[in-house]
Structures are given as C-alpha cells and as structure tokens.
A = this chain, B = another copy of it.
Amino acid sequence: MATKNQVYIAVIGAGGVGKCFLSQLRSLAARKPSPKLNLCYVSSSYKVLYNEDYTEVSMEGVAESLAASSKAPPALSKVIDYLAAAPAKAILVDNTSSQDVADLYPLALSRGVSVVTPNKKAFSGSYQLWQDVFTAAATSGAKIYHESSVGAGLPVISTLKDLVETGDKVTKIEGVFSGTMSFLFNSFAPTSGQGGAWSEEVKKAKSLGYTEPDPRDDLNGLDVARKLTILARLVGLPVESPTAFPVQSLIPKELESCGSGDEFLEKLGAFDQQMEETKAKAQKVGKVVRFVGSINVAANKVKVGLEMFDPTHPIAALKGSDNIISFYTERYGSNPLIVQGAGAGGEVTAMGVTGDLLKVVAQIS
C-alpha cells in the first residue's frame, strides 16, 4: 500500500516554465495529501538536486537550492534508470525544449516511467519518434501527456483527443497558434483599420518580451508548423515533419542570411512595403490579414501562412497575444467548437503541465 499512495516526480528544466511549474507543484502537494507527491529530482542545464536513496527534495525554495547546488546532472539515461528503480511509480516532467530529452521518452515510457511535458520536440519531429513514443506507452501502460505543447494551458489537445476518441469526425482545424503572431497582426492590421509599420510592430513585440530573443524564430513560421504537425497527427494524418507541408516565412529572402537578430531587426524596415501591400490588398476587399495554420483533414492538407478574414470573424477579432483554435467536426456541424485565450506565458504553460500531472497521477496511483 505504501507504494500505491505515493508518486515520484522528476523535473528537468528550471527556466521560465520550470520555475512556475515547481511553484504550482509545491502548492498542489500542500493541498493534495494523497497520493503523496514526492519531488525526487530537479535539474537545470548545469545543476541538479537529488538523493540516491530517493529521499525527498524539499519543494520549499527549490529554485534557490538548485541554483546553489554544486552537483552536475548525470547522463539522461542514468536519470531514467534512477526513476525506473524508484520505490513507487515515477513521472518525468520535461520542462525543456530539448530534442535530447525528447529522444529519451520511448526509453522512459518503456520502463514504466510516465512523461508530462510542454516540449514539442517528440511530437513534431520525425514521425518515427512519434510512433516510438506512443508504442512504448501503449506497451508498458505508462502515460504520456503534452497539453502545453499546443496553446499552452488552453484545452486544445485534450479537446481534440476527446473528439477523436469518442468517435467524432474532425473535418478541419483552423486557428492562430502563436501568441507572437497574434500580437503582431492584431497591432499591425487591427479590425479598426489603424495599425503601425510592420518593422515597428516587430520591434515593439520584441521589447515587450512577446518574441523569441531572435524574432526570426517566430517569423519563420516553424513554431506554428510544429503545433500543426502535432494536431494533424492526433487526427490521424501521418505528417512526416513540420517541413513536409507549405509554411510561409515572414522573413524577407534578402534577410535570411543576417548574422544576428539585431542586424535583422535593423534592416527589416526596408521591407515594410511588402507587408504594407498585403495589408492594403486585404483592406480593399474589406478584410484583415492574419497568420494562421489550418488542417483540412479530408484533403490531407496542412498549411501555415497569411490568410484574409472578415473583421467579424473570430480569428480577426482576437485580442492581444491570444490564440484561437476552431475545431470543425461532423457533430458540431457548421459552427465549430472554439477554444480561445492566452497560448503562451510561464504560468499558463505550467498550468497545462500541472493539469497533465494530475491526470497521470489519477491513473497510475
């Protein structure tokens, strides 16, 4: 019975999302005494806290303790050995965006270690890894949850899974999947018809912390393509990779070779005319332009790029850096099931992870 009433938790990654998760885990453990949530391992890129004998790592001030640690993390495969040998069921929480950690999910799952993560890499990389992950989980009974890999804490993956598993037929998924792109286009081409110069909006978004350190990592569309890959696979389309379908990049060809993000930002203004024309073309027909991803299931077509919308369309009417995801299905008919809200940020991303953790705990303890 002792092993039934507790769960061991290992957390890799203590950055923005990781810190929020650790804080949510601490208050969760305090509110929820059974099963007991034992934090047994925490690591950042260069530091680690854990005890060979599985004695708990104190959740109080854990970020500070980790920063003060002088121990370097062991090899990832050793971490999985450690968790597989724990005195009760174990859950690996991967709060990194690392491909190396993602590559080890099949091993972890096959050894009975469940995984929860916001990391997109295992689900949007090679189709082989996707298959290995879910085969390992199905065979061992360990669980794998990744709600925050699309739309952060918004109920996107769980809703899509419910639709599919209860036998609905999803015909189309369409939406704004990037908080950065949402913010940029809501400012650049608001439904009210105003809006600033494109390069100025990109600079503003960067200064507000809405872009990656190098804004090209948002503007190349790959982040959205990764999310689309995940959703397409969940509906059953065997999409090979996030580059296996058309993805429109908003980086002018001439600036692809810039040495740095700063150089890129400096030179971007010279290309504002291109985006201005796109905006004007939409305005001429009473529409606004937005950066969207869509999956047409019947036609097996996935694409990411600019589209025009009527100002009253929910995708056009979005606010701030919100995401919106519309599920068109047989049961829901012509009016889709829509989920909308903040799709990025440490606290809401961590919330998706914590929610997943609770679902896994309910099943394995």
A355 at the binding interface (Cβ < 8 Å): yes
Chain B residues in 8 Å Cβ range of A27: 167
Q: How many residues of A contact B (CB 8 A)?
A: 43
Contact with B along A18-44 (1 / 0, CB 8 A): 000000100110010000000000000
Residues A341 and B342 in contact, CB atoms below 8 Å apart: no
Residues A335 and B358 in contact, CB atoms below 8 Å apart: no
Contact with B along A334-352 (1 / 0, CB 8 A): 0111111110010110010
A154 at the binding interface (Cβ < 8 Å): yes
Please tell me which one of the listed residues B165, B331, B358 contacts residue A166 in the complex, with CB atoms under 8 A apart: B358
Q: Check A333/B338 contact, CB under 8 A, given A28-B166, A314-B317, A317-B314.
A: no
Closest CB-CB distance, A359 to chain B, in whole Å? 8
Give complex CA distance A28, B337 in Å: 22
Chain B residues in 8 Å Cβ range of A317: 312, 314, 317
Contact with B along A277-320 (1 / 0, CB 8 A): 00000000000000000000000000000000000101001011
Chain B residues in 8 Å Cβ range of A162: 153, 155, 351, 355, 358
Give complex CA distance A332, B339 in Å: 13
Residues A341 and B332 in contact, CB atoms below 8 Å apart: yes
Residues A331 and B28 in contact, CB atoms below 8 Å apart: no
Chain B residues in 8 Å Cβ range of A314: 314, 317, 340
Q: Which residue of B lies closest to A355 (CB)?
A: B162
Closest CB-CB distance, A120 to chain B, in whole Å? 20
A158 at the binding interface (Cβ < 8 Å): yes
- Secondary structure type dominating chain A contacts: mixed
Copies per complex of this chain: 2
Closest CB-CB distance, A5 to chain B, in whole Å? 12
Chain B residues in 8 Å Cβ range of A31: 167
Residues A165 and B355 in contact, CB atoms below 8 Å apart: yes
Give complex CA distance A159, B27 in Å: 19
Residues B331 and A153 in contact, CB atoms below 8 Å apart: yes
Residues B166 and A24 in contact, CB atoms below 8 Å apart: yes
Give complex CA distance A332, B151 in Å: 13
Closest CB-CB distance, A217 to chain B, in whole Å? 24
Chain A interface (Cβ < 8 Å from any Cβ of B)? 24, 27-28, 31, 153-155, 158-159, 162-163, 165-168, 191, 312, 314, 317, 319-320, 322, 327, 331-333, 335-342, 345, 347-348, 351, 354-355, 358, 362-363
Besides A153-B166, A155-B155, A331-B345, 19 other CB < 8 A contacts?
A24-B166, A28-B165, A28-B167, A31-B167, A153-B337, A155-B162, A162-B351, A165-B358, A166-B351, A166-B354, A168-B351, A314-B317, A314-B340, A331-B347, A336-B341, A337-B342, A338-B338, A338-B341, A363-B363
